[in-house]
Structure 1
Amino acid sequence: MSRLTIRQPDDWHLHLRDGSMLRSVLPSTSETFARAIVMPNLVPPVVTAKDAAAYKDRILAAIPEEHGFTPLMTLYLTEDTDADDLAHAYTSGLVTAVKLYPAGATTNSNSGVRNIENVIPVLERMAEIGMPLLVHGEVTTHEVDIFDREAVFIDTILDPLRRRIPSLRVVMEHITTKQGVDYAKSGDDNLAATITTHHLILNRNHLLVGGIRPDYYCLPIVKSEDHRLALREAATSGSPKFFLGTDSAPHTEANKICACGCAGIFTAINTMSCLAHVFAEEGALDKLEAFTSLNGPAFYGMAPNENTIDLVKSDDPIKFPRQIWSEDGPVTVFDPGFELFWKVEK
């Protein structure tokens, strides 16, 4: 197969940042994707409906005129979140979901939840109105190894929470382990999971063997090969439980490629080319549309996009830039470590 036509994809987990960085990175998404769930971990975070409305206005102002793109806004859950404000933001259509960051789990997460008991009333209200909870699923206690934090979170936080509030709709964001895959499969229709592009490609050898690769550092951190293979099986299975959330996360090169680099990989610009490569390797190009364009809308109760894109396989490798530029400084583009031959045509 050298040409594949699919519904226009959506990204169900995206970091756009703000200001000049927002203006620089947004076109890499809006050129290809019709919609994206926009993460709220700005500084300060997007906590209230007022915050979300203002951030949405800044995003809309940055979309190139020739691009049709809809940002799907989220709120950042804190232990002081106002349940009434949250419910109004959702029922009015302003926001699509709420994001749970365990405090200290990842970039700009210090305002996150330290004790899940303190947000139970808000979560119960969300369950009543059908509002999805998007979970960064890692514990942050120092005694738990960083490679085990997702599995421990599932056992000690997520599963008890779902048993306590079974009607709560939950997306396990950017799962990275076989345990995450298995738990998502075991759930009812109220549970789904996103998988990133880079976790389908990288394992911890890529990060650590032959020298540390800060451009491959992300949170949740990449895991061992058996976990990567479990993610590939899930993504390419066609199961409605799994859909694309790139977690594309730009940082300036000065903050990324350094001795204490920030977590996050900027994949928006070449995600579809990378995914076509992965799905072709797995003999599952016929399942790519479900993963990128159908399963996510179905979980969120939205119609799939009417427009289509073509993925065309070329004879010569496609060249992506090593960096894109922003006023804040250059942003490193994800290098999958192999040549890419699939390009997007609209």
Structure 2
Amino acid sequence: MNQLTITKPDDWHLHLRDGAMLAGVLPHTSAHFSRAIIMPNLVPPVVTTAQAEVYRQRIMASLPKGHDFTPLMTLYLTEATDAGDVEAGFRDGLVKAVKLYPAGATTNSHAGVRDIDKVTPVLERMAEIGLPLCVHGEVTNPEIDIFDREAVFIETVLDPLRRRIPGLRVVMEHVTTRNGVDYVRAQERDMAATITVHHLMINRNAILAGGIRPHYYCLPVAKREEHRLALRAAATSGDQRFFLGTDSAPHTDPLKESACGCAGIFTAPNAVSCLAHVFEEEDALDRLEAFASLNGPAFYRLPPNEGRITLKRQDAPVAFPDKIDTGEGSVTVFDPMVPLHWSVTPDIS
């Protein structure tokens, strides 16, 4: 197969940041994606419906002319979140999900949840109205090895939470382990998971073998090869519970290449080409549309996009920039360590 036309995809986990960084990175998503779940971990975080609306307006003001893109807004869950405000944002059609960051789990998560019991009233209200909870699925206990944090989160936080509030609709974001895949597959309803492009392409050797490579460092951190293979099997299976969330997360190079570098991989420019490469390797190009374009809208109870994109396989590798320039500085683009041969042409009818 050398050409494939699919429904225009969505990104169900995206960091756009703000200000000059937002303006610099947004065009690389809006060129290929029709919608995206926007992460709320700004400084300060987006914690109220009013703040989400103002942030949405800033995103739309930064959208390049001619790009058709809809930001799907989320609220940052804190122990002071008001359930009434969450419901009002949902009823207005603005708020599409609430994001749970365990405090200290990742970038700008210091305002996150320390005691899950303190947010139970909000979660119960969300279950009543059908509003999804997006979770960063890691514990932050320093006694737990960083490579085990996802598995421990499932056992000690996520599964008890789902048993306590069975109607709560949950997306386990950027799942990275066989444990996570198996848990999602065991759930019959109200459970899904996003998988990133980079976790389909790299394991932890990319970060550590032959020297420390900060541009492959993200959270949750890439795991062993057995987990990468489990993610590939889930993504290419056609199972509706798994869909694309790139977790594209830009940081300027000085912030990545420092003594304590930031977690995050910027994949927006080549995400779709990487995805086609993975699905071709797994002999599953016929299931690419389900993962990238159909399963996510089905879980979020939205229609698929009307637009289309065409992917064409070319003999010469597609050229992507090593870096992009933003008003805040240069940002390194994800290097998949293999040549990519799939080019993307948007909006083909």
TM-score range, shorter-chain basis? over 0.9
Kindly report which structure 2 residues correspond to 1:65-84, keeping only aligned pairs within 5 A, or say none: 65-84=65-84
RMSD: 0.5
Match of 1:177 in 2: 177
CA drift at 1:68:
0.3
Q: Secondary structure, in 3 states, of the residue corresponding to 2:269?
A: coil
1:278 equivalenced with 2:282 (yes/no): no
1:221 equivalenced with 2:221 (yes/no): yes
Match of 1:189 in 2: 189
Cα distance in 2 for residues equivalent to 1:310 and 1:327? 31
Cα distance in 2 for residues equivalent to 1:299 and 1:126? 15
Cα distance in 1 for residues equivalent to 2:79 and 2:301? 28
Match of 1:95 in 2: 95
| Stretches of structure 2 lacking an aligned partner (at least 5 in a row) | none
Cα distance in 2 for residues equivalent to 1:211 and 1:159? 37
Kindly report which structure 2 residues correspond to 1:1-346, keeping only aligned pairs within 5 A, or say none: 1-346=1-346
CA drift at 1:258:
2.2
CA drift at 1:259:
2.3
Judge which range, 8-17 or 83-92, deviates more: 83-92
Q: Secondary structure, in 3 states, of the residue corresponding to 1:111?
A: coil
Cα distance in 1 for residues equivalent to 2:49 and 2:278? 38
TM-score (norm 2): 0.99
Q: Secondary structure, in 3 states, of the residue corresponding to 2:158?
A: helix
CA drift at 1:327:
1.1
Cα distance in 2 for residues equivalent to 1:259 and 1:229? 31
AA aligned to 1:194 is T
Q: Secondary structure, in 3 states, of the residue corresponding to 1:255?
A: helix
CA drift at 1:80:
0.3
AA aligned to 2:10 is D
**CA deviation string 1:79-110 (max 9, x = no partner):** 00011011100111011000000000000000
In the alignment of these two chains, the number of paired residues is: 346
| Stretches of structure 1 lacking an aligned partner (at least 5 in a row) | none
CA drift at 1:306:
1.1
CA drift at 1:133:
0.1
Cα distance in 1 for residues equivalent to 2:7 and 2:240? 16
Identity among equivalent positions (%) equals 67
Cα distance in 2 for residues equivalent to 1:342 and 1:205? 25
**CA deviation string 1:120-162 (max 9, x = no partner):** 0110010011000000000000000000000000000000000
Moved over 6 A (4+): none
Cα distance in 2 for residues equivalent to 1:219 and 1:28? 22
Q: Secondary structure, in 3 states, of the residue corresponding to 2:4?
A: strand
Q: Secondary structure, in 3 states, of the residue corresponding to 1:270?
A: helix
